[in-house]
Copies of this chain bind each other. A is one copy, B any other.
């Protein structure tokens, strides 16, 4: 309810078309309905094709399937992240069109085309161990209407392979760079481009990697000025930020 609607309502009261009681009822929830992001968001998601998302970790397969079905029935595109195959099996029973992406541990359903971003979102990672996070980012970005290029198997200890991808890196409008261990890849990539780099530390490693903390600290301390960071293993969040940037006019 925006100011125009309030003006119309007040005019109706002024003219006697609406009683004071009715107007009062409409206005009483105003403090928050006017703010009203939630409902707008709901409508907007349907209109723009942005997916509704489910963070499946810590939910039972039945719970995931129930939420998935409800969202699908509302006509939304749906994305479930951190979902294992058991969750997918339950989802598939209620929504056979759902697709499982096993490396990314994601379940998707696309019922309408999302609004397209302007450029390419490149997702970069060092090796096969980082692929689950990188794939989660890639699938999320695709579900949000972005062209995605996945560049795997480049690393700081083999600079030549990274340099070989220079054209692809420069062609992207936004970059997502996933790395575990020492987490240096985002800095190296960021030094080669002039676009925003979203760094995603992964929990890949052992010993003093402390479940991704070493990579996280490395990325936060990046000497490149075009790097910002999201939580460990948060491929979804990185893709959300990257998609927002890529949809800027």
Minimum Cβ distance to chain B for residue A239 (Å): 9
Question: Is B213 touching A217 in the complex (CB atoms < 8 A)?
Answer: yes
Minimum Cβ distance to chain B for residue A32 (Å): 4
**What number of A residues sit within 8 Å (CB to CB) of B?**
98
Question: Is B221 touching A205 in the complex (CB atoms < 8 A)?
Answer: yes
Question: Is A226 touching B240 in the complex (CB atoms < 8 A)?
Answer: yes
The interface-forming segment of A70-78, A84-92, A106-114, A153-161 is A153-161
With A7-B24, A30-B31, A31-B31: A182-B37 Cβ-Cβ less than 8 Å: no
A115 on interface, CB distance cutoff 8 Å: no
> How many copies of this chain does the complex contain?
8
With A32-B163, A184-B184: A157-B222 Cβ-Cβ less than 8 Å: yes
Q: A residues near B, CB below 8 A?
A: 3, 6-7, 10-11, 13-14, 16, 19-20, 23-24, 27-38, 57-59, 118, 126, 128-129, 155-164, 166, 173, 181-184, 187-188, 190-192, 194-196, 198, 201, 203-234, 236-238, 240-241, 244-245, 248-249
Known: A6-B28, A35-B192, A38-B158. 7 other contacts (CB 8 A): A6-B27, A32-B166, A181-B223, A182-B184, A184-B188, A207-B212, A209-B221
